[in-house]
Structure 1
Amino acid sequence: MASHLIQGRTITMPVRVTDATVCSAMYPVRADAARAVIAYSGLDVAEVLPGKAVCTLVFVEYRDSDLDSYHEFGVTFLVRPPDASRARSTGLATLRNAGAFVHWLPVDQGFTLEAGRTLWGFPKELADIELRLSSPYKRCILRKDGRLVVDMLVRPGVPVAGAAAATPLTAYTHQDGVTRRVPAKMWARGMRVRPGGALIRLGNHPIAKELSELGLPKRALMSTTLRASMTFGTAEAA
């Protein structure tokens, strides 16, 4: 069983998250614009419709995990596996094999920042992340270097029965010229889903400008809230 020393602490793989709240919204964006944003990774976006990719904004409260408790915000894109056929396809077949490329991942604690970058190459940065999760309306206010990046509100959706089995997930990261594949699993409970359902206000930070160039704010395809347990395995070069 692989282990790593982070700030004097031994972290054993896989890393476990016992309890987290995850709120997300998926947005349709121009595939050519999304390709330009993640070109540095060498990956290609998955087209859910001809010319359309998916950008997902997600905020998470990790209450109990091997990396302590912390808040996180993510900007991710659905991507095709690196070994996928060069011929581009669209629709459900593309989504079935797609992974999530993590483009930006601010957190509010130093230990998870170092662990995330060291273990998996996640693009973690320190930021001020205020989460308001006590009501059915979930809100995240993200500031970086004293500048507003995004103020995001996710409305309550319709309960969805979740399966007891783990859902396998694949994340991709890129750091120091290397693109990595990160295997993960998630056990979801208390899931709520609705079409649209998210409101965002962009600030004046460069990441906010990047999101605006993708066409945000706009109506989300769908939004989701859930409680989750997760595991993150050892990263491998993609």
Structure 2
Amino acid sequence: MASHLIQGRTVDMPVRVRDAEICSAFYPVRADAARAVIAYSGLDVAEALPGKAVCMLLFVDYRDGDLDTYHEFGMAFLVRPPGSSGAKGLADLRQAGIFVHWLPVDQRFTLDAGRSIWGFPKELADIELRLGSPYKRCILRKDDRLVLDMLIKPGVPVPGAAAMTPMDAYTHQDGVTRRVPWSVRAHGAKMRPSGALIRLGNHPVAKELSELGLPKRAMFTTTVSRAAMTFGAAVEV
């Protein structure tokens, strides 16, 4: 079994998360603008509609897992796997992976593990999650500047969401793009059209989001009250 030494601790592969709460919103953005944002990765965005890519914003409360407890925020894009045919629409989305562009966390151990094991773009940030009310809220600050204040309203239960199709996550660090096998088992999944509100701050990432056209109406939002996840070994692509 492969393992990694992080801060004097052995982390065995695959890395498992036994309990987490996930809130996410999916936004249609201009494909050319999204391509410009992730050009450094060598990957191409998937087009949900001609000329439209999908930007995903999510926040996660990791309550039990191999990398301890922590809060996380993610900015990601649906992308075509390397070497794919470049089909558009539903065919594009069926084979899409998730490229993780920015992934702030609030604990050092998961930061070091995420960067060294998979190349995830983790940075330390102040992530305040308020998950006990009808609205799920994330207040994200980096370098004492507000990035965003995000609200998500849970929707209706999603039948049969317990076993979700495994997806590939993609990362890029130090000139190397990697594929990370990733699977999720979801309990208490809910979905609704739109369902998110965002207030952007004055951080450079907030400017990047505004250049993608945010804040705007989300296509849909999802919440998962209890999720288990598995992250496999990264492979260079």
Asked if TM exceeds 0.5, the reply is yes
Equivalent residue letter for 2:35: R
Q: In the alignment, is residue 233 of structure 1 matched against residue 232 of structure 2?
A: yes
Q: Residue 156 of structure 1 corresponds to which residue in structure 2? A: 154
- 1:13-37 CA-to-partner distances (Å, cap 9, x unmatched) read 0000000000000000000000000
Q: Which residue does 1:74 correspond to in 2? A: 74
Write the deviation string for residues 197-224 of structure 1: whole angstroms up to 9, x where unpaired: 0000000000000000000000000000
Match status 1:211 vs 2:209: yes
Partner of 1:10: 10
Q: What SS is found at the alignment partner of 1:167?
A: coil
Contact 1:162 1:188 in 2 (8 A): no
Measured in 2, the distance between the counterparts of 1:114 and 1:83 equals 31
1:166 to 1:31, Cα distance in 2 relative to 1, 3 A: closer
Distance 2:196 2:160 in 1: 22
One-letter identity of the residue aligned with 2:133: S
- Quote the offset at 1:91 in angstroms: 1.1
Which ranges of structure 2 fall in alignment gaps of 5 or more residues? none
Deviation of 1:160 (Å) = 1.1
- Once the two structures are aligned, what percentage of the paired residues are identical? 77
What residue in structure 1 maps to residue 49 of structure 2? 49
- Alignment counterpart, residue 178 of structure 1, candidates 164, 176, 179: 176
In structure 2, give the amino acid aligned to 1:192: K
Please give the alpha-carbon distance, in whole angstroms, between the structure 2 residues aligned to 1:151 and 1:40: 27
Aligned length: 236
**Aligned equivalents of 1:223, 1:143: Cα separation in 2:** 22
Matches of residues 23-172 of structure 1 in structure 2 within 5 Å? 23-85=23-85, 88-172=86-170
- CA distance, structure 1, for counterparts of residue 164 and residue 143 of structure 2: 37
Deviation of 1:163 after TM superposition, in Å, equals 4.0
Counterpart Cα distance in 1 of 2:112 and 2:17: 17
In 1, distance between residues paired with 2:6 and 2:219? 39
8 Å Cα contact 1:162/1:190 also seen in 2: no
Secondary structure of the residue aligned to 2:82 is coil
What is the letter of the counterpart of residue 156 of structure 2? V
Instruction: Return the alpha-carbon distance in structure 2 between the equivalents of residues 58 and 112 of structure 1.
Output: 17
What corresponds to 1:20 in structure 2? 20
Any gaps of 5 or more consecutive residues in structure 1?
none
SS at match of 1:200: strand
Q: What amino acid is aligned across from residue 236 of structure 2 in structure 1? A: A
1:236 partner letter: V
What TM-score does the superposition give when structure 1 sets the normalisation length? Answer: 0.98
RMSD: 0.8
Aligned-partner Cα distance in 1 for 2:160–2:184: 11
1:169, distance to aligned residue in structure 2 (A): 1.5
Instruction: Judge conservation of contact 1:162–1:191 (CA < 8 Å) in 2.
Output: no
The question of whether the paired residues in 1 share the 8 Å contact of 2:43 and 2:82 is answered with yes
Cα displacement (A) at 1:111? 0.1
